[in-house]
């Protein structure tokens, strides 16, 4: 049981702890640092091209050469890892997502280029089929729904290819049952025992993913090719809390190294639950819609963009996240580093 100090006003005045910047810094319980942040990036074919994403102010799809530069900038800002998501050309998409098994795919080439140029930054890659399927689902559609076991078999092969390309962490985001165990076994059998598995343990069927689907080109595809009109048969119901613990427990047993919760900003209770329940690092994903909402409000003058971004990320960490994925990671990290320098001076 925690000790609760007792005191009464006027002997006890809690404002004493807040009355000056140094006092607030001295007793601050949660300190957001660049090392807590992960920068996601969207990669596209081509060279020297940054294509802005309308729904995500400040975020662009980057060709591999520019993604390498962005990775260097993230590293220089103190960020330890990036997460890559491919925007695959339409002509390469098909019903089974076969391009995901191409060892020379866009994302595999991006991984090799980034690890070659910035070897000291961690690279996380998404394990899912939605960027590659013509119907936009995270797996193989069969009989009007996404076939769990057939999809898992493909995901395990995809994870091995990504690890072979140099990915340090593979992150199954599909929400199929049993995929963490299958991916772990496949990695170990292929000689990639050191490759970490970041499980999207709790991924809700959220409206906040909309801008991401624009970024990777999957919006509007759901329902095509005989598949479901949404992802609710495999992503979690946002109303469920206890189920999140069950989902995470399976992934822990199957060998996940880290657990992810998304959307993080609307799932602070879940992050807190998992932190108390499991001795694994928890990663919160501030998803595209959460980022876009803050960016849009700031553009309208509602508040300062960086201050609001920092607050939102600090709160996710306060809930129990060891790390936070955010499209504002590098931007925020630079301000955190500048703060440290200013204090030292």
Q: What is the mean pLDDT of each run of 10 residues along the chain (345 residues)?
A: 74 94 94 98 97 94 98 98 96 96 98 98 97 94 94 98 98 97 98 98 96 80 81 97 98 98 98 97 98 97 98 98 98 86 48
Distance CA 205, CA 231 (A): 7
Write out the E strands in 45-156: 50-52, 60-63, 81-86, 122-127, 141-142, 145-146
- Residue 18: CB atoms within 10 Å: 11
Q: Determine the Cα angle at 171 with ends 166 and 173, to 5°.
A: 145
**What local confidence, expressed as pLDDT, does residue 145 receive?**
93
Which residue has tokens 């993913």?
A: 209
- Structural domains of the chain, ranges and CATH numbers in brackets: 32-344 (3.20.20.70)
Distance CA 98, CA 129 (A): 9
Residue 93 a catalytic site member:
no
**What local confidence, expressed as pLDDT, does residue 343 receive?**
46
**Closest by CA position to 106, among listed 130, 124, 132:** 132
**What local confidence, expressed as pLDDT, does residue 86 receive?**
96
Residue 203 a catalytic site member:
yes
- Residue 44: CB atoms within 10 Å: 23
Which of 115, 262, 275, 317 does the annotation list as catalytic?
Answer: 262
Distance CA 322, CA 311 (A): 16
Which of 203, 231, 275, 317 does the annotation list as catalytic?
Answer: 203
Please give the DSSP secondary-structure letter assigned to residue 237. P
**What local confidence, expressed as pLDDT, does residue 284 receive?**
98
**What local confidence, expressed as pLDDT, does residue 1 receive?**
53
**What local confidence, expressed as pLDDT, does residue 141 receive?**
95
Distant-in-sequence, close-in-space partners of 240: CB < 8 Å, separation ≥ 6: none
Residue 172 token pair? 């199954």
């Amino acid at each position: 049981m925690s000790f609760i100090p007792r005191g009464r006003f006027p002997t006890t005045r809690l404002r004493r702890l807040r009355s000056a910047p140094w006092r607030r810094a001295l007793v601050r319980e949660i300190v957001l640092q660049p090392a807590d942040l992960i920068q996601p990036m969207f990669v596209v074919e081509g060279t020297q091209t940054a294509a802005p994403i309308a729904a995500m102010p400040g975020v662009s799809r980057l060709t591999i050469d520019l993604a390498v530069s962005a990775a260097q900038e993230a590293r220089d800002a103190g960020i330890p890892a990036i997460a890559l998501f491919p925007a695959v050309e339409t002509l390469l998409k098909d019903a089974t997502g076969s391009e995901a098994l191409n060892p020379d795919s866009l994302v595999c080439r991006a991984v090799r280029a980034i690890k070659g140029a910035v070897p000291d930054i961690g690279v996380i890659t998404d394990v899912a089929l939605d960027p590659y399927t013509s119907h936009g689902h995270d797996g193989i559609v069969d009989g009007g729904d996404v076939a769990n076991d057939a999809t898992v078999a493909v995901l395990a092969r995809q994870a091995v290819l990504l690890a072979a390309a140099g990915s340090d962490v593979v992150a199954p985001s599909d929400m199929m049952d049993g995929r963490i165990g299958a991916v772990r076994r496949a990695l170990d059998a292929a000689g990639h025992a050191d490759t970490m598995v970041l499980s999207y343990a709790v991924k809700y069927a959220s409206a906040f993913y909309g801008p991401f689907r624009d970024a990777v080109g999957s919006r509007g595809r759901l329902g095509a090719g005989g598949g479901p009109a949404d992802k609710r048969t495999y992503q979690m119901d946002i109303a469920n809390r206890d189920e999140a613990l069950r989902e995470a427990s399976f992934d822990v047993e199957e060998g996940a190294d880290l657990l992810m919760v998304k959307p993080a900003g609307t799932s602070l209770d879940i992050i807190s639950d998992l932190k108390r329940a499991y001795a694994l690092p928890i990663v919160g994903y501030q998803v595209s819609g959460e980022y876009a909402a803050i960016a849009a409000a700031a553009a309208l003058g509602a508040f300062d963009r960086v201050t609001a971004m920092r607050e939102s990320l600090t709160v996710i960490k306060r809930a129990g996240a060891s790390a936070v994925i955010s499209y504002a990671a590098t931007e925020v990290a630079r301000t955190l580093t500048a703060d440290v320098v200013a204090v030292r001076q």
